[in-house]
Amino acid sequence: MASTTQPRSKVRERREDVRRRVLRTTAEMMADGTPYTELPVQRIAERARVARSTFYLHFPDKSRLLIALADEAVEALFGEAVIWWGADHADGVDGVAHAMRQMIAAYREHRRVLHALGEVAGYDPDVAEFWRDRMRRFTEVVQARLDAELRAGTVDPEMDVRTTAQVLIWTVERTISAHCHHDEGTGDERIARTLARTIWLTVYGLPPGPPPERPGSDRSGSGGT
C-alpha cells in the first residue's frame, strides 16, 4: 500500500510558501498605507489565502509576525555599515558617507516596517528585546573595531570604546529615522555627509586641546601693572 504521508521536504516547502505569502501580503498591505498596528490578523490571512489557524501555526501572534518582517529590514539597514567598519578606512570620510547613503536608502525602502518596529517596541516586550538584540549585535561590531584601533594607537587612548560604540550606533539610527520621517530625500546627501564627518571625527579626531587664549588675557596669572 502506498504511503499517504507527504515527504518531509514537501511539507517544509509548503510551510515556507505559506510563511512567504503571509510576509509578502503584510508588506503589501502596509505599502498601501495601512499602519501595521491597524492590520487585523483575519484580514492578513484572508488576503494571503491561508486559514487563520494556519497563520497562527507560523506566527503565534502579531509580534512574531513583525519580528519576522523586521529581521530583513534591520539587516538591510545596517549591512553596509558593517562592511565599512570591517574595511581599512583608507577612503576616509568619503567611505563613511557611502555607508550612510546606503543606510538612508535602506531605511526609505523599509521605512514602514522600521517605523512599526520602533512604535511597537515601545510597549511590546518581545519586539523590544528583538530590537535591543539587533542593536547590541551591531554595537559589538563597532566596539570590536574601536578596540582594535585602540590597541593600534590610532585613536584617542582615553576613548571609552563601549560607550563610544553605543553613542555612534544610536546617533546614526535615530538621526536617519527622524530625517526620513520629515524629509522626502532632498536632504539625504547633507545628512549622509554630516553623519560621516561626525563618525570620522569621533573615532579619529584629535582630542581637544586647551581653549584658545583670549586677546588681552594674562596666562601667567600676574595681572596687569
Q: Is pLDDT above 60 for 135?
A: yes
Percent share of the chain, pLDDT over 70: 86
The architecture in CATH of the region 62-204 reads Orthogonal Bundle (1.10)
Per the prediction, the chain carries an average pLDDT of 89
Question: Strand, coil or helix: what is 110?
Answer: coil
CATH 1.10.12, domain 9-59, yes or no? no
Domain range summary for the chain, segments of one domain joined by +: 9-59, 62-204
HSE, CB side, 13 Å, CA atoms: give it for residue 60. Answer: 2
How many other C-beta atoms can be found within 10 angstroms of the C-beta atom of residue 205? 12
Q: pLDDT band at 208, cuts 50/70/90?
A: low
Residue 208 · residue 185 · CB < 8 Å? no
Least confident range of 11-25, 122-136, 200-214: 200-214
Number of H helices and E strands in the chain, helices first, is 9, 0
The burial class, CB within 10 Å (0-12 / 13-18 / 19+), for 166 is middle
Cα(161)–Cα(152) distance, integer angstroms: 13
Average pLDDT rounded to a whole number, residues 139-151: 97
| pLDDT at position 14 | 82
| pLDDT at position 150 | 96
| pLDDT at position 1 | 46
| pLDDT at position 156 | 94
CA of residue 159 relative to chain centroid, distance: 24
Q: pLDDT band at 15, cuts 50/70/90?
A: confident
How many other C-beta atoms can be found within 10 angstroms of the C-beta atom of residue 154? 12
| pLDDT at position 6 | 57
| pLDDT at position 26 | 96
| pLDDT at position 219 | 47
| pLDDT at position 147 | 97
Nearest CA to 182 out of 108, 98, 103, 75 is that of 108
43-82 residue pLDDT tens: 999 999 999 999 999 999 999 999 999 999 999 999 999 9
How many other C-beta atoms can be found within 10 angstroms of the C-beta atom of residue 4? 5
Q: Is pLDDT above 60 for 148?
A: yes
Asked if the domains 9-59 and 62-204 are classified in one and the same CATH topology, the answer is no
pTM of this structure: 0.83
Q: pLDDT band at 206, cuts 50/70/90?
A: low
Q: Is pLDDT above 90 for 83?
A: yes
